[in-house]
């Protein structure tokens, strides 16, 4: 089946086909499937996408962990929520890189020639990357358990933490998509992505308590969306802090970022 066959929700209007939400969802699903098939045909890419976060776990768990005081909480339990969130953020960078590749190879131009919703291209790409992030996070949880991570909270809270991280990665995929469509070059998109991701992840509570940071850095860290998500995930997985406050703050960040970057990304895609 192609995106132009058996599409539900199409209505005729003044001699043209009018796209309905059902048609947009259908096109997005088909394009997400295309992207997933493309990714699964690159096994070396999948392997190396898992290696980087595993290296981060091993470095901080066995090299830096002994020098970081996290009080009554073992460092591996403190670390893994931060690593999981960082992995989701890094995974979101793939969206921008992939769109620049599709622009350069002419795939986007071919998709534009089809009678499909322009938004379906972006929705399909972000949905496919979200599914890949699900697989990556499952692997990271398994690695965490192997190195000593021991969640203590009920199963529903663990599931809520997992969903929160996935929503976070979905939001950041739209930011990455906007950057990729704006710069249109894979190397530039990769550099531009890491420039804003590294300060957010390392100047946060992902790896060290914010109480140990200098004043201005601590203020930035405590209002950082990464810190809010990490703190919420910690509360939902190992307890020690109430997750409701950080989770509510994170959701507000999500809503604000989507309101800003979804329209910007759609506009950039139309101009690309």
pLDDT digits (tens, 9 = 90+) for 153-184: 999 999 999 999 999 999 999 999 999 999 88
Look at the block and give the residue holding tokens 């910007």.
Answer: 264
Residue 79 tokens, joined: 């670390």
Q: How far apart are CA 3 and CA 9, in angstroms?
A: 13
Q: What does the pLDDT read at residue 8? A: 54
The residue that leads in pLDDT, 43 or 151, is: 151
Average pLDDT rounded to a whole number, residues 185-204: 85
Instruction: Tell me how crowded residue 193 is: count the other CB atoms within 10 A of its CB.
Output: 24
Residue 140 tokens, joined: 């990271």
Q: How far apart are CA 3 and CA 20, in angstroms?
A: 14
The residue that leads in pLDDT, 146 or 192, is: 146
What value does the mean pLDDT of the chain take? 86
Q: What does the pLDDT read at residue 3? A: 47
Q: What does the pLDDT read at residue 39? A: 83
Residue 158, sorted as left (phi over 0), alpha (psi -120 to 50) or beta, turns out to be alpha
Backbone dihedral angles phi then psi of residue 184, each to the nearest 5 degrees: 65, 15
Residue 60 tokens, joined: 């901080």
Contact 65/73 with Cβ under 8 angstroms? no
* Complete DSSP assignment for 112-156: HTSSS-HHHHHHHHHHHHHHHHHHHHHHHHHHHHHTT----S-HH
**In the chain, where does DSSP find H-type helix?**
21-40, 43-59, 75-105, 107-112, 118-146, 155-183, 186-202, 215-222, 225-237, 244-271
> Is the predicted pLDDT of residue 11 greater than 60, yes or no?
no
pLDDT digits (tens, 9 = 90+) for 12-44: 443 345 567 788 888 889 889 988 888 888 877
Q: What does the pLDDT read at residue 17? A: 52
Pairing relation of β-strands 16-18 and 11-13? antiparallel
Angle between helices 118-146 and 244-271 (to 10 degrees): 140
Q: Residue 265: pLDDT band by 50, 70, 90 thresholds? A: very high
Handedness of CA 51, 46, 144, 173 (dihedral sign): positive
Q: Residue 204: pLDDT band by 50, 70, 90 thresholds? A: very high
Average pLDDT rounded to a whole number, residues 76-100: 91
Most confident of 82-91, 112-121, 191-200: 82-91
Q: Which residues sit opposite 162 in a β-bridge?
A: none
pLDDT digits (tens, 9 = 90+) for 123-149: 999 999 999 999 889 999 999 999 999
> Is the predicted pLDDT of residue 4 greater than 50, yes or no?
no
């Amino acid at each position: 089946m192609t995106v132009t066959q058996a599409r539900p929700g199409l209505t005729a209007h003044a001699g043209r086909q009018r796209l309905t939400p059902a048609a947009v969802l259908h096109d997005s699903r088909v394009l997400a499937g295309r992207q997933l098939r493309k990714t699964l045909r690159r096994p070396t890419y999948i392997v190396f996408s898992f290696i980087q976060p595993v290296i981060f776990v091993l470095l901080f768990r066995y090299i830096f962990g002994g020098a970081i005081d996290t009080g009554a909480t073992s460092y591996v339990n403190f670390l893994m929520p931060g690593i999981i969130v960082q992995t989701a953020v890094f995974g979101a960078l793939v969206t921008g890189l992939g769109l620049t590749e599709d622009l350069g190879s002419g795939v986007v131009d071919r998709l534009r020639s089809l009678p499909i919703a322009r938004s379906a291209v972006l929705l399909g790409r972000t949905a496919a990357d979200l599914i890949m992030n699900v697989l990556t996070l499952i692997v990271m949880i398994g690695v965490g358990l192997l190195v000593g991570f021991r969640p203590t909270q009920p199963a529903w809270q663990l599931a809520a933490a997992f969903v929160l991280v996935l929503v976070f990665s979905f939001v950041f995929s739209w930011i990455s998509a906007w950057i990729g469509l704006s710069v249109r070059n894979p190397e530039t998109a990769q550099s531009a992505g890491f420039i804003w991701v590294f300060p957010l992840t390392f100047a946060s509570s992902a790896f060290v308590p914010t109480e140990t940071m200098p004043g201005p850095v601590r203020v930035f860290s405590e209002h950082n969306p990464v810190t809010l998500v990490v703190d919420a995930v910690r509360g939902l997985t190992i307890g020690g802090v109430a997750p409701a406050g950080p989770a509510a703050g994170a959701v507000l960040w999500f809503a604000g970022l989507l309101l800003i970057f979804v329209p910007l990304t759609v506009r950039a895609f139309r101009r690309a």
